[in-house]
Amino acid sequence: MSKIKPSKGAPYARILGVGGYRPTRVVPNEVILETIDSSDEWIRSRSGIETRHWANDEETVAAMSVEASGKAIADAGITAAQIGAVVVSTVSHFKQTPAVATEIADKLGTDRAAAFDISAGCAGFGYGLTLAKGMIVEGSAEYVLVIGVERLSDLTDLEDRATAFLFGDGAGAVVVGPAAEPGIGPTVWGSEGDKSETIKQTVPWTDYRDGTVAKFPAITQEGQAVFRWAVFEMAKVAQQALDAAGITADDLDVFIPHQANERIIDSMVKTLKLPEHVTVARDVRTTGNTSAASIPLAMERLLATGEAKSGDTALVIGFGAGLVYAATVVTLP
């Protein structure tokens, strides 16, 4: 018989607070058109994007995360010292080690919180949320800070017509804590590594270091292949998340998909047959694709504008490079 005592965590977990940070510089499509042969109408019709935010030198991955996290902690009504773990999803922190999560945890004033980074692209927030839920229920942390943050302007090839207009910068954060009833449903997640070439970094860092290529690495994608996968496969995953939570589309109040492309969002809404009463996040129009940051940023904006309210039932789904995905149903803070 095992001598290990059972964990004493909370029965359930939920999101208690949310915060976001968007860089001060707003970049309209006209700026993008200076380096690619396209038009404002083409960009809007293909992606829905009108503007995006690009970070300045002071708006680092850590700095943006601290700003967003401070708001989330205040929104949750706790102190930074109560945070037991900091999970950061990002692909644009350029130091291999240490994890940027450790710097963020220190700057926030946590009491030696566990801190680590994960790399799961646009599904990173969902991955982090799932890890946080597990920590709270297992008992290794009472409160977990989950951050999605990107400076994708650093990884954008402004001459690549397929991607130059897509990406933006920003940070979104949530505090996950104990709950008396379920606030985060079962996660439906996975990967399709056989499709990893459809969204990728152009070359390894070593090729740039060794002079094999002169151009700094950037993110590129096969647009049509990604669109088809997202529209047809991710709608199935979203439905599986609804089924796992034991609800139907009629029970939803809010739909917060990864803000990759408004055409993808529209197609998913149609395929899922979401009722008209469901509020759909469309933060992509003014924020662009911020990868791991897109879902918490969209969530924060919906609550701030009153389009969604505390206690609403929301379906969230992230999908992207890997190809990876994660979907779950949550109660909004």
* CA proximity to 143, closest of 99, 186, 173: 173
Catalytic residue among 53, 122, 261, 277: 122
Are residues 294 and 149 in contact, defined by beta-carbon separation less than 8 angstroms? no
SS3 content of the chain, % helix, strand, coil (to 5): 40, 25, 35
Are residues 272 and 233 in contact, defined by beta-carbon separation less than 8 angstroms? no
Instruction: Give the helix/strand (H/E) hosting 305.
Output: helix 294-305
Are residues 257 and 221 in contact, defined by beta-carbon separation less than 8 angstroms? no
Active site residue 122: yes
Write out the E strands in 222-304. Answer: 254-257, 279-280
Instruction: Give the helix/strand (H/E) hosting 134.
Output: helix 124-138
Q: Environment class of residue 323 by beta-carbon count within 10 Å: exposed (0-12), middle (13-18) or buried (19+)?
A: buried
Catalytic residue among 29, 53, 93, 289: 289
Catalytic residue among 53, 93, 258, 261: 258
Catalytic residue positions? 122, 258, 289
